[in-house]
Amino acid sequence: MDSSKFNHQFQIQLRFVDIDAFGHVNNAVFASYYETARVAYFDDVLGLRINWKKNGLILAKNILEYKSPVYLRDTIICKTSVVKLGNKSIEIYNELIRKNNNKEELVACAHGILVCFDYEKNETIEIPADWRELIKQKENLN
C-alpha cells in the first residue's frame, strides 16, 4: 500500500520480553503490536463512542506477513488504515515500519477483518452510523 494512504500511525514500544533466543522479536509478538495499534486507531477516531465492554469489535481474521527481522533497539511504527466498510465488518490494513534516520523500511504487514459485536447480547451488530461516518471522514472513504 502507498504510504501516503495511511492517516494513522502509532509508535510501538519494543520490550525485552518480545525478543526470542535468536535475538529478534518473536513472530508471535507481532499480532500484539497490530492489536495495540488498532486500539489506538479506534480510540483516536471514535474516542468514547466505543465501549469495549458493551459494543466493540472482535477480530475475525488476521493475516500476517513478515518481511524482515525486528531487533530490540529498532524504532518501529505501525501504520493503520481502514480499507473497506461492510455492514458489520471493517477491513483494516497495517504496516510495521522500521525508521532509521530519514529512511523507512517495511518489516511486516497485516490484513484483518474486524466485526462489530454486542458483548451484552453476544451477537454481531451493524457498524453504528456515527462510527461509520467518523471512519469514512478519517479515511476519505465514500
d(CA 40, CA 55): 17
pLDDT at 51: 81
Residue (of 27, 104, 110) closest to 61 by Cα position:
110
pLDDT at 3: 60
Q: What is the pLDDT of residues 84-140, one digit of tens each?
A: 999 999 999 999 999 998 899 999 999 999 999 999 999 999 999 999 999 999 998
Q: What is the residue extent of each domain of the chain? A: 3-139
d(CA 65, CA 70): 13
CATH number of 3-139: 3.10.129.10
pLDDT at 33: 97
Q: Which helix (H) or strand (E) holds 64?
A: strand 55-66
pLDDT at 48: 77
**Mean pLDDT along residues 13-42:** 95
Residue 1 pLDDT > 80: no
CA dihedral sign, ordered 142, 112, 8, 105: negative
